[in-house]
Amino acid sequence: MAKKESFIKGTLILAAAALIARVLGLAQRIPLEHMLGDIGDASFNVANTIYLMLLTIATAGIPSTLSKMVSERYALEKPHEAQRIYHAALIFSAIMGVVMTLLLYFGAPYYATYIKLPEATLAIQMLAPALLLFPTIAMMRGYFQGRNNMMAGGISQIIEQIARVGTAIILAYILLTMDYQDSTIAAGASFGGVLGSLGAFAVMIYFTLRMRKQDRTLSLQEGQNKLPLMTIYKDIFTLSIPIVLTSLAVPAVNFIDTSIIKGLLIGQSGDAYATQVVGILGSRAQSIAGIPPILAIALSASLIPIISAAFARKDQPYLKQQITLAMRIAILTGMPIVIALSVASYSINGLLFSSLDGSGIIMLLTFGTIFQITMMTSNSILLGVSKAKVSMVHVMIGIVVKLVASYMLAPFFGIYGIIGATGLCFLVITLLNLRLMKKIVPFSILGKRWLSYLLTIIVSAGIGYGLNQAGILLVNMMPDRLAYLITCIIVGVAVVMIYLVMLIVLGVLSQEELSSYPRKIQKVFMPLMKLQPHRVRNRMND
């Protein structure tokens, strides 16, 4: 129980931090979307997309590897080796920060020209200095996660976003009042990432100093038995390269979209519309669609050290329990958020942004994130059981599917075909991952209850959509934004409540199964279990 509570506590800490960070990021997009025109909006989106792509390449693999290796060393009571590995990772991160900063800064003009948006050059270059520190920050977060300290990474995320968002909005406003061009205002907003990196680094230094005394004690126990640096780097890169490619799934898809949208749409709809779509996809759709996977991201980060330690101890029953629990939590908690945001996309668009353009784009992209959630969770599980290379192959297959499907569907469905290809990509990766996971540890997520769960989704979505359509009529009786706000609240509350009730009534969640969940989740569902009919309960017990 202690391990389970520790796991869920770590997940909740990271989820809360990620939610706050996502809300702040969305809060930034709203005023920027009002301050920027189509070119500025697209430029800011392009800068963030390529920046996140390079940041993933520079940092995604090694922090996850570091978390895995550190947790394993502590599980095997070899803390001195964990310290040595951490120091080696910090050396690499400093070098990688310089390389990535130079690459992003000097490569910006070539990439911006290639995607037919040269105005984005300055916005990309203004983000480059942030990469000096972020590789090191990522290593520190990975180390603390390996030590089961999720608080350090969570707080650093929040401070990073506060500094980034505040700087971006203030600089953009100042440049707007000084009548600078749209692309220059976007560049000022991009520079917020640099201040964000400084804030995050300061937080990680603070937590490092707090842990220094304990680490010194560990280093004194080390004696003369030091791991050679070359051995450490060999182990790190052997595991981290597959992890990097696996972690690239979402950034790579966003990068592909940013790179191909104008080329695929410009012939059909013209340059102005294609530029507008690039901006809408980044500033609106991806911002909203980034909310449902928050728990999955936190779950994935918390999962790596838990799964790795169980796998290292060869504790198969506990490994099966954690894998099953992780996949169920990811699906059951992610879906109501996906449904609510999808069916209320029109009202959300009207509430947050300057126009109702792109509501359909927001809806379709958000709905597809359920497959992103399952993909991310299953990728982390495969990492924990030392199957990162196979996971990498699955992601590469998914990326190929994404590219082929985008070029096949775009001529017929435009931007919706490109977004549909994204959902297909994530679904293919998920199915491949699940097939492999069941060979390693036989498990069942919902068993024979998938039909009941599908009915739960359909009913929740149908009622939510109906309420949204009815709520839209309120714009004839009150100010538009107030009407959209009321509609969003009603739809959100209704979808979540209907979803939870139907999970119980249709027997998707059983009483026996609930007893294996963490206590905090039990407190939410236990009162609702009274709604479950006796015949359903008896059938599930048989």
Chain centroid offset of residue 478 CA? 36
Q: Of 21-30, 122-131, 325-334, 385-394, which range is least confident?
A: 21-30
Amino acid 232: pLDDT: 79
What's 315's DSSP letter?
-
Q: Is the pLDDT at 5 greater than 50, yes or no? A: no
pLDDT of residue 366: 93
> pLDDT at position 303, please?
62
b/e burial code for range 177-200 (CB count within 10 A of at least 16 → b) = eeebebbbbbbbbbbbbbbbbbbb
The structure tokens 């080696």 sit at 88
Cβ-contact 401, 421 below 8 angstroms = yes
410 or 283: which leads in pLDDT: 410
Distance CA 430, CA 374 (A): 6
Q: What is the CA radius of gyration of the chain?
A: 23
Q: Answer whether residue 63 shows pLDDT above 70.
A: yes
For residue 296, the number of C-alpha atoms closer than 13 Å in the C-beta half-sphere is 29
Percentage of residues in the chain having pLDDT higher than 90: 24
Question: Which of 98-112, 327-341, 436-450, 508-522 has the lowest average pLDDT?
Answer: 508-522
pLDDT at 154: 79
Q: How far is CA 486 from the centre of its chain?
A: 28
Longest Cα–Cα distance in the chain: 77
- Using CB atoms within 10 Å of the CB of residue 352, give its burial: 0 to 12 exposed, 13 to 18 middle, 19+ buried: buried
N residues, the chain: 542
**278 contacts 117 by C-beta, under 8 angstroms:** yes
pLDDT band at 461 (very low <50, low <70, confident <90, very high): very high
In terms of Cβ atoms closer than 10 Å to its own Cβ (0-12, 13-18, 19+), residue 208 is middle
Per-residue pLDDT averaged across 121-144, rounded? 88
Picking from 216-225, 244-253, 408-417, which range would have the lowest pLDDT averaged per residue?
Answer: 216-225
Tell me the mean pLDDT in the region 184-209: 90
Whose CA is closest to 106, among 130, 119, 94, 124? 124
- Rounded to whole angstroms, the Cα distance separating 307 from 382 reads 9
Q: What is the pLDDT of residue 394?
A: 93
- Nearest residue to 172 (alpha-carbon basis) of 183, 188, 149, 159: 188
If DSSP codes are grouped into helix, strand and coil, which group holds residue 206?
A: helix
The chain-wide mean pLDDT, for the chain, equals 82
Grade residue 507 by pLDDT with cuts at 50, 70 and 90: confident
Q: How many Å apart are CA 452 and CA 472, to the nearest integer?
A: 30
Closest of 372, 382, 432 to residue 250, by C-alpha: 372
Q: Which of 22-31, 65-74, 95-104, 360-369 has the lowest mean pLDDT?
A: 22-31
pLDDT value, residue 220: 44
**1 band by pLDDT with thresholds 50, 70 and 90:** very low
Mean pLDDT lowest among 159-168, 341-350, 484-493 = 159-168
Instruction: Tell me what pLDDT residue 484 has.
Output: 92
- DSSP string of 57-72, one letter each residue: HHHTHHHHHHHHHHHH
Confidence check: pLDDT of 495 > 80: yes
Give the pLDDT band (50/70/90) at residue 439: confident
Could you give phi then psi for residue 345, rounded to 5 degrees?
Answer: -60, -40
Average pLDDT for residues 465-472, to the nearest whole number? 93
pLDDT for the residue numbered 170: 92
Amino acid at 152: A
pLDDT at 346: 93
What pLDDT does residue 224 have? 46
Which of the four pLDDT bands, split at 50, 70 and 90, describes residue 324?
confident
The most confident of the ranges 184-188, 377-381, 529-533 is 184-188
What the block records as the tokens of 425 is 């990509």
* Confidence check: pLDDT of 347 > 90: yes
The pLDDT score that the predictor gives to residue 521 is 63
- CA-based nearest residue to 304, from 147, 103, 137: 147
pLDDT value at residue 223: 46
pLDDT of residue 367: 93
Q: Where are the domains of the chain?
A: 2-445, 447-542
Which comes out higher in pLDDT, residue 214 or 463? 463
Q: What is the pLDDT of residue 2?
A: 44
Residue that wins the pLDDT comparison between 457 and 232: 457
Three-state SS for 25-43 is HHHHHHHHHHHCCHHHHHH
User: Residue 113: what pLDDT?
Assistant: 86
Residue 193 C-beta-side C-alpha neighbours within 13 Å: 25
- Regarding predicted confidence, which is higher, 229 or 356? 356
